[in-house]
């Protein structure tokens, strides 16, 4: 079978020269090609010329639009792609104690970021990058999303990580300087100072309370970057950073650290859930220590719990129990209803009001008002309280700061609970007189005791260092004579025969009141759980500090405030007064001898251990 070529192919074959002809002739007659001889319509060339003309017109219009009409828009887009605003981070203000010792400071540290689309794609280098960052290959791949133009690889690199990342010299990975917060005092001052997040914004404590003062204002620097992220030149004026203000706290770092150690040891020794200590300067109203346990390390917050973060001295409220008795008795003394030697019948150790029974821990037949404080008699206190209108008690409780938020700039400080007196029943007035039916924080309780230290005045307190060493004025609650008399009574509590001899301090006269209360759960009390505390002042002859100690749920041998919180009070007082260079006001040898001799039940005979006659004290100059 033979196949014939198509007619067009046959025509081309006829038109082509035979073999060897091209070598003999120097060209072809293309005019004889049947393809070129075919007629071409004129509209085709005109159509093509029109298309070319329209294309040039479009380009000309686009050029006119870009260069003349939308100039600002395209300039802006060009700047977005080449000009970058770099933040010049402000250094956060430092936080120091009253003597200038740093509690929080910022240090410059390297951080690393990347342009994902430009990061070196070599598998080996990416594996090395993931190892340096502490990430798996999958985590790194997810982080380097090619659709992103910026990603943080590592914030606040360690020295080891810095060396590893710099050695890799990866394309598309850049180093930036940031600031990281450091806390030299660690756990001891954590609840006071607080901490910041990665952006150095305060999250807790003083860092949060004074965020605006500490933060400062970041500056700006406009630069042109090339496609590799390198800075080519600066553009415009640089706006310098304004660093944050430094803060000097009233806290004494040494007192704070010692108080933290003592409450930590006491919590562990007594099998307690938690504990707190507050130390106040009675001259200036400055907070010298505010310690809590359990605590945390502000630099290591990976596994924090709410129990660690709580500043219990300010955020936890409780019924203060017997620590309220001195205020009730002071009101009775101040109003002239009783004198220190007024005898009150407390037999048979119980009394019933509105169907509820009130009892004393130890029954007694008759006690003087001074002995009501010394022996911590509920019945003696109630009998004095019921002689007074409810309004008077309520006004006194309000005057010492109960039911009100402490006037300090600190997050989480609570108000406590003090119900309006018009709703009190007789039994409620009775129980409030010895600390049940109202609530307060340990900080509020410590603040209230400045009334006795400052001759009847409640002084304002602060967490910031005061500029003046002069005693701050306060608001009058009791007369100076009543406050001095109550100081003497409080001293008998720590003397032999009192409820808290464990609170005595060698060389210093001290006084205070212990408290032990069942923990309230729901509408009732759990009689297997206690809060124990001791609040007092020293030296009695010329008070310089108020110290309040609280332990939550002690489960060891003892649970009463005198034996659980009293020793912590004694240790903190002794160390604090030495650090403040307060001279001893008792003869140590005579003090020890008096402590081991049989105690007299006479209030006035217990004052003989004091160096000076307290009844002759006038204000803070005695």
> Chain-centre distance of CA 373, in angstroms?
38
Q: Write the pLDDT tens digit of every residue in 214-234.
A: 988 877 777 776 665 666 666
The answer on pLDDT for 33 being more than 70 is no
Structure tokens at 438: 């109202």
Mean pLDDT of all residues in 546-574:
94
Q: Name which residue leads in pLDDT, 494 or 594.
A: 494
Helix (H, G, I), strand (E, B) or coil at 63: helix
The answer on pLDDT for 236 being more than 80 is no
Distance CA 481, CA 483 (A): 5
Beta bridge partners of 457: 476
The answer on pLDDT for 86 being more than 80 is no
Q: Name which residue leads in pLDDT, 587 or 431.
A: 431
Helix (H, G, I), strand (E, B) or coil at 400: coil
Q: Where are the beta strands (DSSP E) in 412-544?
A: 440-441, 457-458, 475-476, 511-521, 524-538
Is 96 considered catalytic here? no
User: Cis peptide leading into 89, omega within 30 of 0?
Assistant: no
The dihedral sign for the CA sequence 512, 518, 521, 525: negative
% of residues, the chain, pLDDT over 70: 84
Q: Are 508 and 584 in contact (CB under 8 A)?
A: yes
Q: Picking from 14-18, 391-395, 413-417, which range would have the lowest pLDDT averaged per residue?
A: 14-18
> What is the pLDDT at residue 205?
94
Which run of H or E residues covers position 125?
Answer: helix 123-133
Confidence category of residue 11, pLDDT binned at 50, 70, 90: low
Mean pLDDT of all residues in 585-609:
51
CA atoms within a 13 Å half-sphere pointing along the CA-CB vector of 88: 12
431-444: buried (b, 16+ CB within 10 Å) or exposed (e) per residue?
A: bbbbbbbbbbbbbb
Distance CA 375, CA 583 (A): 30
Which run of H or E residues covers position 491?
Answer: helix 480-494
Mean pLDDT of all residues in 47-58:
87
Q: Picking from 21-30, 403-412, 447-456, which range would have the lowest pLDDT averaged per residue?
A: 21-30
Mean pLDDT of all residues in 538-553:
95
Q: Write the pLDDT tens digit of every residue in 322-378.
A: 999 999 999 999 999 999 999 999 999 999 998 999 998 888 889 999 999 999 999
User: CA end-to-end span of the chain, whole Å?
Assistant: 141
Distance CA 80, CA 73 (A): 11
Confidence category of residue 604, pLDDT binned at 50, 70, 90: very low
Distance CA 134, CA 154 (A): 10
Mean pLDDT of all residues in 270-279:
96
Distance CA 377, CA 427 (A): 16
Residue that has been written with the tokens 């340096």 in this structure: 132
Residue that has been written with the tokens 């200036």 in this structure: 284
Most distant CA pair in the chain: distance in Å?
Answer: 152
Structure tokens at 610: 């004091």
The answer on pLDDT for 595 being more than 70 is no
The dihedral sign for the CA sequence 114, 117, 119, 123: positive
Confidence category of residue 49, pLDDT binned at 50, 70, 90: confident
The answer on pLDDT for 252 being more than 50 is yes
Q: Name which residue leads in pLDDT, 615 or 340.
A: 340
Distance CA 213, CA 246 (A): 8
On the 0-12 / 13-18 / 19+ scale of CB atoms within 10 A, 498 is buried
> What is the pLDDT at residue 488?
96
> What is the pLDDT at residue 4?
52
Structure tokens at 316: 């936890």
The dihedral sign for the CA sequence 113, 117, 123, 124: negative
Q: Are 289 and 405 in contact (CB under 8 A)?
A: no
| Per-position DSSP letters for 194-251, written without gaps between them | --B-TT--B-SHHHHHTHHHHH-B-EEEEEEE-TTS-EEEEEEEEE--BPPPPEEBS-
Confidence category of residue 592, pLDDT binned at 50, 70, 90: low
The answer on pLDDT for 560 being more than 70 is yes
Q: Write the pLDDT tens digit of every residue in 100-123.
A: 999 999 888 888 888 787 777 777
The dihedral sign for the CA sequence 220, 221, 224, 226: negative
> What is the pLDDT at residue 85?
67
The dihedral sign for the CA sequence 61, 67, 68, 72: positive
Q: Are 192 and 206 in contact (CB under 8 A)?
A: yes
Confidence category of residue 598, pLDDT binned at 50, 70, 90: very low
Beta bridge partners of 290: 278
> What is the pLDDT at residue 608?
35
Q: Name which residue leads in pLDDT, 224 or 202.
A: 202
Confidence category of residue 128, pLDDT binned at 50, 70, 90: confident
Confidence category of residue 591, pLDDT binned at 50, 70, 90: low
**Pairing verdict, β 95-96 and 247-248:** parallel
Q: Where are the beta strands (DSSP E) in 306-447?
A: 317-318, 343-345, 350-353, 356-359, 366-368, 440-441
Beta bridge partners of 181: 106
Distance CA 93, CA 104 (A): 9
Q: Picking from 220-229, 254-263, 431-440, 461-470, which range would have the lowest pLDDT averaged per residue?
A: 220-229
Distance CA 520, CA 284 (A): 35
The answer on pLDDT for 147 being more than 80 is no
> What is the pLDDT at residue 27?
54
Tell me, what DSSP letter sits at residue 610? S
Mean pLDDT of all residues in 562-583:
95
> What is the pLDDT at residue 609?
36
> What is the pLDDT at residue 416?
93
Q: Write the pLDDT tens digit of every residue in 450-484.
A: 999 999 999 999 999 997 778 899 999 999 999 99
Helix (H, G, I), strand (E, B) or coil at 429: helix
Catalytic residue among 106, 276, 322, 377, which? 322
In 3D, which of 203, 284, 246 has the Cα closest to residue 463? 284
Rg (CA), the chain: 42
Beta bridge partners of 275: 293, 551
> What is the pLDDT at residue 606?
36
Confidence category of residue 381, pLDDT binned at 50, 70, 90: very high
- Torsion, Cα 68 72 77 83, to 10 degrees, reads 120
Q: Picking from 239-243, 307-311, 319-323, 560-564, which range would have the lowest pLDDT averaged per residue?
A: 239-243
Structure tokens at 117: 């689309």
């Amino acid at each position: 079978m033979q196949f014939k070529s198509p007619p067009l192919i046959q025509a081309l074959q006829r038109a082509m020269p035979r073999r060897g002809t091209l070598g003999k002739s120097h060209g072809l007659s293309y005019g004889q090609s049947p393809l070129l001889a075919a007629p071409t319509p004129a509209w085709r060339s005109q159509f093509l010329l029109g298309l070319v003309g329209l294309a040039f017109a479009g380009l000309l219009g686009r050029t006119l639009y870009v260069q003349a009409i939308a100039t600002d828009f395209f300039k802006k887009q060009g700047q977005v792609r080449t000009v970058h605003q770099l933040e010049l981070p402000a250094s956060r203000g430092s936080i120091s104690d009253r003597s200038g010792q740093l509690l929080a400071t910022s240090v410059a540290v390297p951080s690393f970021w990347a342009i994902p689309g430009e990061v070196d794609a070599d598998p080996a280098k990416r594996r090395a990058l993931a190892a340096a960052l502490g990430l798996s290959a999958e985590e790194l791949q997810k982080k380097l999303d090619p659709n992103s133009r910026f990603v943080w690889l590592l914030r606040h690199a360690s020295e080891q990580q810095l060396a590893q990342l710099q050695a890799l010299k990866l394309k598309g990975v850049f180093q930036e300087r940031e600031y990281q917060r450091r806390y030299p005092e660690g756990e001891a001052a954590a609840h006071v100072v607080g901490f910041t997040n990665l952006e150095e914004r305060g999250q807790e404590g003083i860092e949060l309370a004074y965020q605006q003062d500490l933060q400062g204002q970041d500056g700006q620097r406009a630069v042109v970057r090339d496609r590799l992220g390198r800075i080519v030149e600066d553009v415009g004026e640089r706006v310098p950073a304004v660093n944050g203000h430094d803060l000097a706290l009233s806290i004494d770092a040494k007192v704070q650290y010692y108080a933290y150690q003592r409450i930590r040891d006491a919590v562990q020794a007594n099998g307690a859930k938690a504990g707190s200590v507050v130390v106040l300067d009675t001259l200036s109203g400055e907070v010298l220590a505010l310690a809590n346990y359990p605590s945390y390390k502000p630099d290591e917050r990976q596994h924090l719990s709410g129990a660690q973060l709580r500043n219990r001295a300010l955020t936890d409220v409780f019924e203060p129990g017997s620590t309220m008795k001195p205020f009730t008795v002071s009101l009775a003394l101040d109003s002239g209803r009783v004198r220190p030697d007024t005898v009150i019948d407390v037999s048979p150790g119980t009394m019933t009001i509105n169907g509820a029974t009130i009892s004393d821990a130890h029954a007694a037949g008759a006690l003087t008002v001074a002995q009501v404080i010394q022996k911590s008699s509920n019945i003696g206190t109630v009998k004095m309280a019921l002689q007074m209108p409810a309004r008077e008690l309520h006004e006194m409780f309000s005057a010492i700061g109960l039911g009100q938020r402490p006037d300090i700039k600190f997050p989480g400080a609570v108000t406590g609970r003090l119900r309006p007196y018009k709703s009190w029943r007789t039994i409620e007035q009775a129980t409030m007189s010895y600390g049940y039916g109202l609530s307060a924080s340990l900080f509020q309780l410590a603040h209230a005791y400045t009334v006795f230290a400052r001759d009847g005045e409640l002084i304002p307190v602060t967490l910031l260092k005061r500029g003046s060493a002069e005693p701050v004025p306060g608001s009058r609650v009791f007369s100076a004579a009543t406050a001095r008399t109550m100081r003497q009574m409080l001293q008998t509590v720590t003397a032999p025969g009192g409820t808290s001899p464990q609170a005595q301090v060698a060389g210093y006269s001290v006084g205070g009141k212990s408290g032990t209360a069942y923990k309230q759960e729901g509408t009732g009390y759990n009689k297997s759980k206690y809060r124990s505390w001791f609040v007092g002042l020293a030296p009695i002859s010329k008070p310089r500090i108020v110290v309040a100690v609280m332990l939550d749920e002690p489960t060891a041998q003892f649970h009463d405030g005198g034996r659980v919180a009293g020793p912590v009070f004694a240790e903190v007082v002794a160390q604090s007064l030495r650090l403040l260079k307060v001279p001893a006001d008792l003869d140590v040898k005579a003090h020890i001898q008096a402590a081991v001799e049989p105690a007299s039940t006479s209030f006035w005979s217990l004052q003989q251990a004091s160096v000076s006659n307290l009844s002759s004290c006038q204000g803070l100059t005695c």
